[in-house]
Structure 1
Amino acid sequence: MTRPRIGFLGLGWIGRHRMQAIAESGHAEIVALADPSPEAVETAAELAPDAARGATMEDVLAARPDGVVIATPSALHVPQVLQALEAGAAVFCQKPLGRNAAEAAQAVEAARRADLLLAADLSYRHTAAFGALMAQVEEGALGDVFAADFTFHNAYGPDKPWFYDKAQSGGGCLIDLGVHLVDQALWLLGADDLTCTSASLFSGGGPVGPDGVEDYCVASLRAPSGTAIRIACSWTLPAGREAVIEAQLYGTKAGAEVRNEAGSFYNFSASRFEGTAARPLVSPPDDWGGRAAVDWARRLAEGEGFDPDTERLTVLARVIDGIYAAAH
């Protein structure tokens, strides 16, 4: 197994964190760093001092990488993904892959045609706690899951202005945080699609303007199996802690839950419920933040090309589109 050559475009906190995780894994060689901010490049270069440095995707591709990690504003994702794929580089992209299903489908189709590995940073799948929840489902330990609740409230909200510009972000807290919740629902329930039956969006407690973005979303969805699903997500909600990140599954045999501990963005526990009894499944600590990126790098090192499961990124985007449509 040879180590692929990897370039990084977008070197804010998330980009650098994913870079460090891949570097420490040993699965890849870091050959190029690029960001419009020279300071961000210099900070990242402390982790990869021999990597070429620049500001654009062209600078990254000049190093002829085997793969590119993209952590830029959402409006740039698909054009940059297409640019990398056309140059023969696999891609690991921050979520959301596209601002809507049409954009996501364009990227997925390009990866399929090029037979190149494409993945998005749906990082919560890689926590031990959500892994334990999936194991309960796969083992049939919950029976038939008939209801599921998913929640992600971030007390702070994003710190970059582009998140609040609909043209750049594609939306507010739903496409930023709710993308994880919808992905969890699709993944845990093994669903091919989800139908939104009702949705409400708010901005500052009132209606969302035509060019505005939501800071609170609640939606009801239904899986083809009939499972009823509720998602709720927000920015800057007065929830009494820094974050509320939870998932509950209720089945005909038992229930199960993932919950963040003490308002943490990083520490998760998982429990199984039988009647009034709760049995712990997983407790923190769990160093999970970079696992999705490391998994992509490992698969790339093993020579993996296009994965048909990547098509589910289009399904994910289509469900989010459906929630926005139902709310309007």
Structure 2
Amino acid sequence: MVYAPALLCFFLFCVGVLRDRRRFGNAVLLGLTGLFAFGAWIFELRDRHPVLARDLGVALVVLVALGIVTLAWFLISNGLVMVRKEGRSPANLLSLLAGLALVALLGLLIATVVLQSRVLVAVTATALALAGYVGFLFLCFVVYAFLYGRLALRRRADFVVVLGSGLIGGSKVPPLLASRLDRAHAVHGRLSRRGRRPVLITSGGQGPDEDLPESHAMADYLIGRGFPADLIEREDRSRATEENIEFSRTIMVKAKPDYRCVIVTNNYHAFRAAVTARRAGVRGHVVGSPTAAYFLPSAVIREFVALFATYRRTNLGICLLVFVGGGFIWLLG
């Protein structure tokens, strides 16, 4: 019976994936399955082998501590690489800031153990609870996003939508966007070999520092590599992912109300784009293209932050409860 919560969460996870694989709730259910299964296993081990369970608990604490230190070092190192290669924009600083936050959390924990201050105990407990909640959601996001990217692509699609990502020098397609276009070209070719001729929608408006809309540069890139010009539709009004998907949906509904589509973006962006597509009522799934390894940590953190903000009411409510709990710890201390 100790495994019943894990089995229930796994059953709900399977049902959720079958109903719609694009739900963030699926990621949380998968995380809860692992958490409850691990807790049940520890409970069972403590009952049958108490000494082994104690030694395992100590080993886990040491591994977690070493893991946090290693992760902090990795994030700070990657953040410095991002700043050197991509510049000091807020998005490029995310991995560096995350690493520094972990260092600050470790410092706070050490100070609390040494000083034994009631205020520090309350602050540290609150910080650890918040970090645990955010860390759990982040792990759920990373694992499920990885799984989502490997789910089978549906055979039927009337449209292939490529999401824009900005131009270099006002007119040139950058490597990040080129990887999306190359993947879209390959997906379109695979769908065409199955007897369909889907329309490819390049989606992206014109930014203040761009000489032409992204969608036009994207179309020129594809045509220059042999893609049929008559199968390209340009969506040239959007400025963000939500608008990419919303305006592309308008084009698809107008052309074919019962459409199905495949949306192409980079692999780190695929799951959030899928969640956005579901919330916008788009009938289709998302596939990802490769991304440079050094770019991934900051990009994944950025995607998680955006998803966290998407469900901000729930997340802020839980965070508020954590702060209230920290206040009670201080009052009762």
Higher helix share: 2
> TM-score category by the smaller chain?
under 0.3
Greater RCO, 1 or 2 (C-alpha within 8 Å, sep 6+) = 1
> Whose radius of gyration is greater, 1 or 2?
2
TM-score normalised per structure 1: 0.27
Higher strand share: 1
